[in-house]
Structure 1
Amino acid sequence: MKLIKNIQSIAKEVLQQEALAVQNLAGHIDEQFEKCVYAILHSGGRVVISGIGKSAIVGQKIVATLNSTGTPALFMHAADAIHGDLGMIQENDVVIVISKSGDTPEIKVLVPLLKRTGVIMIAMVSNRDSYLALNSHHILHAYAPTEADPLNLAPTTSTTVTMALGDALAICLLETRGFTHDDFAKFHPGGSLGKRLYLKICDIYPGNAVPLIHDSASLQEVIMEISSKRLGATAVINAEGKMAGIITDGDLRRMLKQHRVEDLFRLKASDIMTPRPVSVHPDEYAVNALQLMQSRSITQVIVVEEGEVKGFVHLHDLLREGLV
């Protein structure tokens, strides 16, 4: 085994080369790129992506990104296409063929077959003068003149550039379609990401206790309510039944320091509470409530709708849901 002393410098050089290639790719975004976006938007069909070797692997990632951002897409391996998989292509589909050189034998076999289907064909290619580019309707120029390896052979920079260009295409389609937060949530219902996108406060608080007292309640009643509901706080409502404030364990400790023992039991809830406390609406996203708690350094928040206390959400609820 060859002893290499500059491992770190080699790794940094690879990353710098690939980063530079992606940066330079911005200079190759032109009217052709726009035409590709509009061709997909106006097709009424799906995006079928094809390739072979490493291009096939990158193509599958681009398909996944397109599907998750509102553009129906599927992958067709270039080698399998000539053995029956061409049947997956429908009349209104747009086919994107990925190939760095655009001149491989498999591509030269595939292209004429695709042309017979009559679909719009897009070449995602580094070489604009290749067979693939010259026989396609549009070109996505994944320009990568050199690879990152010293032999200039292993698909490295070229695959990075192609993947980045696929991301740019997907995001352009997302924005032009007006793809929203709620749309994204529909396609990502699973795991913590899904919960961040769709879980709302109304999905959490109904199962929690609702510590609640009137502003005229005594200190003893306040302590009993906080202790019995075990949330470390209680909401305070006024004579009209609307939220007036909150009393937390911390409020009680500060109150003990500020008053003489003989005066404590003359205090009412209104004397102890923090008025106008932080609250959230039942339709608020849970992740926004989490950010609110973190920004205010609090562990619970009152759920309020039109001034009426509906319940509490505690930081532990959000931990249990996997949002933290």
Structure 2
Amino acid sequence: MKSKKSIIQSARSTLELEAASILNVAKNLNDDFEKVVSTILECKGRVIVTGIGKSAIIAQKIVATFNSTGTPAIFMHAADAIHGDLGMIQIHDVVICLSKSGNTPEIKVLTPLLKTAGNTLIGMVGDINSFLADQSDLILNTTVEKEACPHNLAPTTSTTAQLALGDALAVCLLECREFNESDFAKYHPGGSLGKKLYLKARDLALSNEKPSIKPEASVKEVLIEISKNRLGAVAVIDNKNKVIGIVTDGDIRRMLEHYTDIEHLMAKDIMGQNPKSIQHDALAVDALDIIKQNNITQLLVLEQNTYFGIIHLHDLFNEGIV
């Protein structure tokens, strides 16, 4: 078994080889890459991405990235294509075929069929002198010197090059489409990522009670309102529903430290003035930033100048935004 030192050396060598392969792909970029981007942008159909073996797995990832960034795409396994799946390709689709050698039997069978259908064929290939390269309308060069595998057999460096070039293609396409955060949110509505892009402060505030008291409220009334709503705070508002302060659990503790007679105290005597707030249509993730920056656990939500509700740090935790 290898020593700890040699294991680290092996891992470092693999990463350095793969990093070098990506830099080499970057150097090999030419006019065909720009033409590929233009072809996909002008495409009235979808992008069909195909491959076999490990290239098929990379093709699936490229499809996933395309779909999530505004480029409609479908994965088609090269082996399944010649057994019926060719039917998924429509006349206006563009096809990207991934292959390291460009000379596998499946690729040699599939490529002429794609050409017959008249679709634009883009070859992402590691040998620009291969059958696939010769048959392709446009070539994306993913040539690598050698695999990270010590036997130069297992696809490692070559698939890394394919993956990186697929990402570069997706990023160029989304930039050309001016694909923004709002667009991204449409395709990622689930999970914390989507929520960071679309969940508003009002969405969180509406799920809570809306505790409020008048400035002249007694300490007892303040305590009852805080305890009843379980948010650890209550907004102090005037007759026009404008916020003039906030009383938190911390304010109650400080009151007990500084006063021995609390019977005659009112909310206005113990409230914190100029409380931190956020507009109701702001993103919830912006509310988190305010909470973090000010080391607080509650944040008031306003609609213009009037009181809308309260967000608690736990609300952000519950939504997976923290």
TM range, smaller chain: over 0.9
Aligned residue for 2:260? 261
Is the CA contact 2:212–2:235 (under 8 Å) kept in the aligned structure 1? yes
- Summarize the alignment of residues 103-122 of structure 1 with structure 2, pairs less than 5 Å apart: 103-122=103-122
**Match in the other structure for 1:178:** 178
| Amino acid in the other structure paired with 2:186 | K
Instruction: Tell me which amino acid in the other structure corresponds to 1:134.
Output: D
- How far apart, in 2, do the equivalents of 1:14 and 1:173 lie? 30
Per-residue CA deviations over 1:108-165 (Å, capped at 9, x if unaligned) read 2221111111111111012222221222111112232210011111100000110111
| Deviation of the 1:20 alpha carbon | 2.1
Shift of 1:229: 2.4
Aligned to 1:43: 43
1:314 aligned partner: 312
Aligned-partner SS, 1:247: strand
Separation in 1, partners of 2:224, 2:89: 69
Deviations 1:42-81 (A, max 9, x none): 0111000111111111111111111111111111121222
Q: Which residue of 2 aligns with 1:140?
A: 140
2:272 corresponds in structure 1 to 274
Q: Distance in 2 between matches of 1:86 and 1:229?
A: 61
Retained in 1: the 8 A contact 2:124–2:162? yes
Q: Could you tell which deviates more after superposition, 104-113 or 144-153?
A: 104-113
Bigger mean CA deviation after superposition, 159-168 or 230-239: 230-239
Q: Is the 8 A contact 2:24 2:144 kept in 1?
A: no
Q: Is the 8 A contact 1:146 1:157 kept in 2?
A: yes
| Residue 159 of structure 1: aligned partner | 159
SS at match of 2:311: strand
Aligned-pair distance for 1:191? 2.8
Aligned with 1:11: secondary structure?
A: helix
Q: Tell me the SS of whatever aligns to 1:65.
A: helix
Q: Which letter maps to 1:294?
A: K
Residue type at the aligned position of 1:213 = I
Residues of 1 paired with 2:106 and 2:147: CA distance?
22
Question: What is the distance in 2 between the residues matched to 1:307 and 1:216?
Answer: 21
Quick check: 1:209 aligned with 2:202? Answer: no
> How far off is 1:265 after superposition?
4.3
Residues 126 and 145 in structure 1, CA contact (< 8 A), matched pair in contact too: no
**AA of the residue aligned to 1:281:** Q
Q: Distance in 2 between matches of 1:283 and 1:53?
A: 48
CA RMSD of aligned residues (A): 1.9
Report the TM-score, using the length of structure 1 for normalisation.
Answer: 0.92
1:197 Cα deviation after fit: 3.0
3-state DSSP class of the match of 1:204? helix
CA–CA distance in structure 2, aligned partners of residues 90 and 174 of structure 1: 23
Alpha-carbon separation, structure 2, partners of 1:90 and 1:227: 63
Question: Which residue is 1:295 aligned to?
Answer: 293
Q: TM-score, normalised by structure 2?
A: 0.92
Report the residue type matching 1:74 in the other structure.
I
Shift in Å, 1:180: 2.2
Q: Is the 8 A contact 1:33 1:140 kept in 2?
A: yes
Secondary structure of 2:48's counterpart equals strand
Deviates more, 1:112-121 or 1:281-290: 281-290
Q: Structure 2: which 5+ residue stretches go unaligned?
A: none
For 1:28 and 1:265, how far apart are their aligned partners in 2? 80
Deviations 1:85-117 (A, max 9, x none): 222111111100101121222222221111111
Task: Output the CA distance in 1 between the equivalents of 2:229 and 2:80.
Answer: 63
Distance between the aligned counterparts of 2:63 and 2:75, measured in 1? 6
SS in 1 for 2:121: strand
Q: Is 1:20–2:20 an aligned residue pair?
A: yes
* Deviation, structure 1 residue 266: 4.4
